Chains A and B, each alone.
Chain A
């Protein structure tokens, strides 16, 4: 029986952030325990014992429980340091830059992108109301400025923290997939040469491809 458990569903970008990290570290001996937001699986007393904020994912390694996808990703990177992709680079400088761009994702990129995706795709499902176009417009303006900075950075470096793929790039993949493929805002990327090349590169990695298959299989099961 796998001692690693990921609680959640693959439709969640936060869950797939963890699944992609596991794949990058060549860890496939884990179990996904379905916790569905749409059926309130995240509000049961049992689940709230694991994740008191009622969010997905939660993660267990044996009897050790952890939550927050970025913290779980760090734990996996550390535990499996000796295998798979080195997700924090090789040097002190690499690690510093990975941490920096992880925070940029956390503080600047994700909040903005998530608001756009939520309004365009999930407002009806989760809040029973149509898209607030004013919010989308405001957040798109913000995002354009942020993406200009990314374009500048990626003009000089293949990846965010330098010449090596890292957890900083990985952290962006799930929510960018939502932005481009679900909310259909791909022109934000296709209009920026280096940003687009970076996206093409990181989203074609075997780890993400594997997670896409998990997402598709889950969707099939629902039917």
Chain B
């Protein structure tokens, strides 16, 4: 068992990695819980692994990797021969997966995580939501989702007619938006975005992640 993943099943970014592992049919790894409430991620031993003091970190033998999207790429490459191909089959398909991974990173995630901070993470540490910020971000999100809707009307998944890491990368924060922040109307009111969401969130890999959360 060479892989150790430091993080928590409840964390969005750790979930991105866990779901990738499950999608690649990798079950043989250790999940080492990091106690965020006790600030374990800011202690010297953890900072040696992840100097920015956030989760997750993955160790594979003497290789240490942080940033969930980079870890997910590593897992996809290492286990290329098994599970779901996460970067398509051709050079162009790969390029489109990379494009939509960047769209998630640059256009989708900042908006969703801002709403998540206001409505979910901030309140956990005693902060009051700033309704003005939430409203602004939701308006931004509507514009982004209009583009996704038009795109998904012509493509089953983001990079084409195949599931890829680009779709997977959206799952954890979108799930949080819908089920914890309770601001999912943008997703559920758009026919093709909803169909895409229903499909990707009912994959066995995400179900396995939710089961793991339930057990934690």
Contacts and interface: CB of A to CB of B under 8 A. Distances in A.
Interface of A: 52-53, 64, 66-71, 74-75, 78-79, 92-93, 95-97, 99-100, 102-104, 106-108, 111, 146, 149, 152-153
Contacts of B163: none
Interface string B86-103: 000001101110110111
B102 A70 contact: yes
Given A68-B102, A104-B67, A106-B106, A99 B73 contact: yes
A158 to B, nearest CB: 18
A66 B99 contact: yes
A69 B92 CA distance: 16
Contact of A74 (B74, B95, B147, B150): B95
Given A52-B150, A53-B147, A75-B95, A103 B70 contact: yes
B11 to A, nearest CB: 15
Given A67-B99, A106-B105, A96 B67 contact: no
Given A75-B98, A96-B74, A103 B67 contact: yes
Contacts of B123: none
A102 B70 contact: yes
A116 to B, nearest CB: 16
B103 A53 contact: yes
A97 B67 CA distance: 10
Interface residues on B, range: 20 to 34
Nearest to B101: A71
A66 B52 contact: no
Contacts of B157: none
Given A68-B103, A99-B74, A100-B70, A52 B147 contact: yes
Q: Which of A99, A146, A153 has the most CB of B within 10 A?
A: A99
Given A102-B70, A106-B106, A146-B52, 13 more contacts: A52-B151, A53-B103, A67-B99, A68-B98, A70-B98, A71-B95, A71-B101, A75-B98, A95-B77, A96-B65, A99-B69, A100-B65, A103-B69
B53 to A, nearest CB: 9
Interface in B121-141: none
Contacts of A108: 52
A152 B50 CA distance: 12
A66 B51 contact: no
29 contacts: A53-B144, A53-B147, A64-B92, A64-B95, A66-B95, A66-B99, A70-B98, A70-B102, A70-B105, A71-B99, A71-B102, A74-B95, A74-B98, A75-B95, A79-B91, A95-B77, A96-B74, A99-B67, A99-B69, A99-B70, A100-B66, A100-B70, A102-B70, A103-B67, A103-B70, A104-B67, A107-B67, A111-B110, A146-B52
Contacts of A104: 52, 67
Contacts of A149: 51-52
Contacts of B25: none
A71 B98 contact: yes
A17 to B, nearest CB: 11
Contacts of A75: 95, 98
Contacts of A52: 147, 150-151
A154 to B, nearest CB: 12
Contacts of B103: 53, 68
A103 B52 CA distance: 12
A64 B96 CA distance: 10
A78 B51 contact: no
Nearest to A106: B105
B37 interface: no
B107 interface: yes
Contacts of A146: 52
A74 B52 CA distance: 25
Contacts of B110: 111
A67 B103 CA distance: 9
Contacts of A111: 110
A93 B91 CA distance: 22
